Structure 1
Amino acid sequence: MKYRKIGTDPARQREVSVLALGAMWFGTATDEPTAFALLDRYAAAGGTFLDTSNNYAFWANGTQGGESEAVLGRWLAQSGQRDRMVVATKVGARPLSPSRDFRDIEGLSPAVVREQVDRSRERLGIEQIDLYYAHLRDPGTPLAEQVDGLAGLVEDGAVGMLGASNFWAWELERSRSLAEDRPAYDVVQFQHSYLRPRTDQPGLASPEGTVGVADGALLSWLADDPRLTMVAYSPLLKGAYTRDDKPLPDAFDHPGTPARLAVLDEVARETGATRNQVVIAWMLGAPVPAIPLVGASSVAQLDESIEAVDLELTAEQQAMLDGERERVW
């Protein structure tokens, strides 16, 4: 395993493994024995960065979530690994009542984040949440109020570090500016992979386009301030790189996709690796490096990702992948 530091404040920085393990389906689609086996394998391989949310995974069974945090909490208590693990969870997208969609969610008001941080700590069985993400932009709460509420959690010791996911890039920059000398977002979590999707399609989060994808605005902002860290969710596109039964979403239906897949396949042949492994290796060395956040339903799937950390691409291979990804179509 390899490691890097996250955080802009030396007093709060943490070292994490460059591969993060997502616990989204733990306690719902992934039963507890399987979840524990995955966590054990990840820890044995040197992994130290765990990711969950207070709403995972409500849509699987029509609840309000919390199952994933609870499973992680039981594993942390049983395994004795708490001190090794950097635990990240999220707030802001939990449904107000049992549901299967995101139409009526809690938001990011100071009252909500104060209440939910305590509930998450209780489910996780930990005194402090190492990294606390604002899960989804909340147009109904002024950014200044969001910043104030979240910064207070760090100042009170309930949270070690702040992050944000599924915001517009301008909202992230504005939030950091509003924080002034108070704790601000140090980590961002966005959907990011080698293939590039269209981002002009409206959704529930915004009618202006796709929120939550690492687009040019976000990547250029991160390139300008390398102190910030990006965690990439869905880096392997939910199996679509390698599984015929997992087609690419419609957002990838454009001329750039087959050309990029061809380059990916060429590098995979040269290295003897899988497409998934090349994607992870590329991401770790990309112009804006990211921490791949991988999920797995079996130890074999997880091992494929763990092995990718040691895949060293040549400068020529990295340049070929970068060049095709940056090509205009």
Structure 2
Amino acid sequence: MSTDRIGTVELGTGGPRVGAQGLGCMGMSFAYGPADDTQSRATLDRALELGVTLFDTADIYGFGGNEELLAPFVNAHRDEVFIATKFGNSRKEGAPLGTWQVRNDPAYIRQAIDASLRRLRLDRVDLYYMHRRDPEVPLAESIGALAELVAEGKVGHLGLSEVTGAELREAHAVHPIAAVQSEWSLFTRDLERSLVAAAAELGTAVVPYSPLGRGFLTGSLPDARELPDSDYRRILPRFSGGNAEANAALLEPVRAIAAARGITPGQVALAWVHQRAAVHGVTVVPIPGTRRPERLEENLAAVGIELTQDELDALEPIASKVAGDRYADMSTTSTARE
């Protein structure tokens, strides 16, 4: 496995430079079953060694536990790490997975940033995302409150997650939006309806989450029934019953390309996401999540892989054939508001 450092890209037009691939840290504290903190910390250290600088978390991951896990690492490498966190999704501890409340009101935004700063032991976060949109709160009101946090020095740059192209344009008119985070993979291309074009037009970077389809695109995920009870994927439609079987069959061209090249299916999937930058004329910084150093190295090796047009053509139909929604409840996603 190559251990070369990855290069950097500009996070939005005129924005800061970050590693060409980031690290999604959610699984170190939330959603994918029990984790080993020692192993997670080793993964963070190895990521920085290999050129990863954008580390992604949120206040909902482990009910703040993920921010607390990252705090010693971020503070030890403050000048090298670009830390992104989020607000807007809330869930009562002990409530069933998939049970969320979305809040975007200014009072909550101030409460949320102060709580995140305490857990991260920082006086400023580099990138602050609205995790989900509450249509009942005027977008200009929320962005206005976030702009105040930038002016006060508590936040460096603003981001949005799971928004439409129209919502991005509306928000950007109030304050520049450095990055938009949405699910983007061979299995999920909803954001190509309107968001990507708006991001390219405005010079906003796109930060794809779940670029490996929550592990499905690696081809090594077990049957959902074999996952721990605390694994969020057990309740996701694409991982259940007949949907899982149908979606597994869609991996055939991914496996064929991987075998021919001597790489992994996951690297094929990540290379495809990286190449969306040239296809759509937009900066793309995927944030695959992992808590294992060896998987991290595999993911980062995909940065240098370029798929041929024939290979891209073979992968093109996959998303249109995927069975099942991304979430059991799609009401807070951009898809519901297109």
SS where residue 53 of structure 1 aligns?
coil
Aligned mate of 1:261, from 233, 251, 261: 251
Aligned mate of 1:195, from 187, 191, 194: 187
Between the aligned residues of both structures, percent identity stands at 29
Q: Give the aligned partner of residue 303 of structure 2.
A: 309
Q: 1:298 to 1:97 in 2, by over 3 A?
A: closer
Q: Give the aligned partner of residue 212 of structure 2.
A: 236
Contact 2:288 2:299 in 1 (8 A): yes
Post-superposition shift, 1:328? 9.4
- Distance (whole Å) between structure 1 residues aligned to residue 310 and residue 24 of structure 2: 31
Residue 71 in 1 paired to residue 66 in 2? no
SS where residue 159 of structure 2 aligns?
strand
Post-superposition shift, 1:303? 1.7
Amino acid at match of 2:194: A
Contact 1:263 1:324 in 2 (8 A): no
Contact 2:250 2:318 in 1 (8 A): yes
After TM superposition, the structure 1 stretch with the greater mean CA deviation from structure 2, 164-173 or 48-57, is 164-173
Contact 2:164 2:191 in 1 (8 A): no
| Equivalent residue runs for 1:50-199 within 5 Å | 50-57=55-62, 65-77=63-75, 80-95=76-91, 99-101=95-97, 103=99, 105=101, 107-177=103-173, 179=174, 183-196=175-188
- Distance (whole Å) between structure 1 residues aligned to residue 319 and residue 74 of structure 2: 41
Gaps of 5+ in 1: 58-64, 198-212
Aligned mate of 1:272, from 262, 281, 290: 262
- Distance (whole Å) between structure 1 residues aligned to residue 314 and residue 66 of structure 2: 39
Amino acid at match of 2:114: D
Contact 2:11 2:179 in 1 (8 A): yes
- Distance (whole Å) between structure 2 residues aligned to residue 326 and residue 97 of structure 1: 34
Q: Give the aligned partner of residue 331 of structure 2.
A: none
Contact 1:239 1:246 in 2 (8 A): no
Post-superposition shift, 1:324? 4.1
Aligned mate of 1:6, from 4, 11, 17: 11
Aligned mate of 1:282, from 272, 285, 293: 272
Amino acid at match of 1:277: Q
String of CA shifts for 1:18-41, please: whole Å, max 9, x gaps: 111111133453232111111011
SS where residue 28 of structure 2 aligns?
coil
Residue 295 in 1 paired to residue 327 in 2? no
SS where residue 82 of structure 1 aligns?
coil
Q: CA RMSD in A?
A: 2.9
- Name the TM-score, length of structure 1 as normaliser: 0.80
Post-superposition shift, 1:327? 7.8
SS where residue 34 of structure 1 aligns?
helix
Q: Give the aligned partner of residue 196 of structure 2.
A: 219
- Distance (whole Å) between structure 1 residues aligned to residue 260 and residue 158 of structure 2: 40
- Distance (whole Å) between structure 2 residues aligned to residue 2 and residue 144 of structure 1: 35
Q: 1:140 to 1:221 in 2, by over 3 A?
A: same
String of CA shifts for 1:199-248, please: whole Å, max 9, x gaps: xxxxxxxxxxxxxx52422234334x161111111111122121251569
Post-superposition shift, 1:304? 1.2
- Distance (whole Å) between structure 1 residues aligned to residue 55 and residue 221 of structure 2: 29
Gaps of 5+ in 2: 1-5, 225-232, 323-338
- Distance (whole Å) between structure 1 residues aligned to residue 267 and residue 288 of structure 2: 11
More helix by share: 2
Contact 2:29 2:66 in 1 (8 A): yes
Q: Which has the higher contact order (CA 8 A, sep 6+)?
A: 2
String of CA shifts for 1:61-89, please: whole Å, max 9, x gaps: xxxx1000001002223xx2111111000
Q: 1:173 to 1:46 in 2, by over 3 A?
A: same
- Distance (whole Å) between structure 2 residues aligned to residue 104 and residue 325 of structure 1: 30
- Distance (whole Å) between structure 1 residues aligned to residue 203 and residue 102 of structure 2: 30
